């Protein structure tokens, strides 16, 4: 079962989700002395990150890392790393350890091995992973029928990360070359939280819950697995 937390407004959504994330991270710090927070880019989670940045967690013991990245430099407008630096790694959370995905390699394929090594050093299980979902049913950078998608979703793929080349669309924009957590990588999380806003996204989510090919809506790989709890947080 997927737990669904549906709110009447976004302020209530982000307040509740920030408290939940604080609770999960604080428990990991108490139990293990460290925690790991996996984050998505995009505009939707920015209020969550800004709220969390001011929390009194021991951020010096929290590892923050991306679930996916466009293969662009940090000074590019589309960089998820830059977004996280602006919205989360500020205030108290400036003390967190951050692991980005983009390397100096020219392509995601060439940079994957180095990034994989970095991600293997992050404490596991990942305490919390925040995921989004596009109107095309993608999550992280697992895009429908993308080059590299089958490998990234394969159950026998032990890699945490994988290069992806998406089919260009309104959702992808021009930056189709990506690096993403694989299904295996995502399932190294203790919990997966899908954060959505808007009536249209909720309709897409319900479509993803229905029968259909994973390749058409890759978020189905997350919804259909039974290894890691999945929670939906949504508001109009």
Closest residue by Cα to residue 139 from 73, 54, 222: 222
- The top-level CATH class assigned to 3-235 is alpha beta
Q: Per residue in 159-184, pLDDT tens?
A: 999 999 999 999 999 999 999 999 99
Spell out the per-residue pLDDT of the chain, length 236, in tens: 799 999 999 999 999 999 999 999 999 999 999 999 999 999 999 999 999 999 999 999 999 999 999 999 999 999 999 999 999 999 999 999 999 999 999 999 999 999 999 999 999 999 999 999 999 999 999 999 999 999 999 999 999 999 999 999 999 999 999 999 999 999 999 999 999 999 999 999 999 999 999 999 999 999 999 999 999 999 99
Q: Per residue in 128-167, pLDDT tens?
A: 999 999 999 999 999 999 999 999 999 999 999 999 999 9
Domain boundaries in the chain? 3-235
Residues with Cβ within 8 Å of 30's Cβ and at least 6 positions away in sequence, in order, are none
Closest residue by Cα to residue 153 from 215, 95, 210, 104: 215
């Amino acid at each position: 079962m997927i737990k669904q937390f549906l709110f009447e407004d976004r302020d209530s959504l982000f307040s509740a989700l920030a408290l939940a994330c604080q609770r999960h991270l604080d428990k990991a710090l108490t139990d293990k002395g460290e925690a790991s927070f996996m984050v998505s880019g995009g505009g939707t989670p920015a209020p969550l990150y800004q709220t969390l940045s001011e929390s009194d967690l021991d951020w010096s013991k929290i590892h923050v890392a991306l679930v996916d990245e466009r293969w662009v430099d940090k000074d590019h407008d589309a960089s998820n790393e830059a977004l996280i630096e602006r919205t989360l790694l500020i205030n108290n959370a400036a003390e967190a350890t951050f692991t980005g995905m983009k390397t100096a390699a020219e392509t995601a394929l060439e940079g994957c091995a180095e990034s994989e090594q970095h991600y293997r050093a992050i404490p596991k299980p990942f305490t919390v992973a925040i995921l989004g979902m596009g109107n095309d049913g993608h999550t992280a950078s697992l895009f429908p029928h993308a080059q590299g998608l089958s490998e990234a979703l394969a159950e026998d793929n032990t890699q945490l990360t994988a290069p992806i080349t998406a089919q260009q669309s309104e959702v992808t924009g021009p930056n189709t070359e990506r690096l993403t957590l694989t299904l295996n990588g995502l399932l190294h999380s203790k919990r997966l939280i899908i954060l959505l806003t808007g009536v249209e996204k909720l309709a897409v989510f319900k479509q993803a819950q229905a029968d259909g090919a994973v390749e058409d809506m890759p978020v189905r790989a997350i919804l259909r697995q039974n290894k890691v709890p999945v929670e939906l947080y949504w508001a109009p």
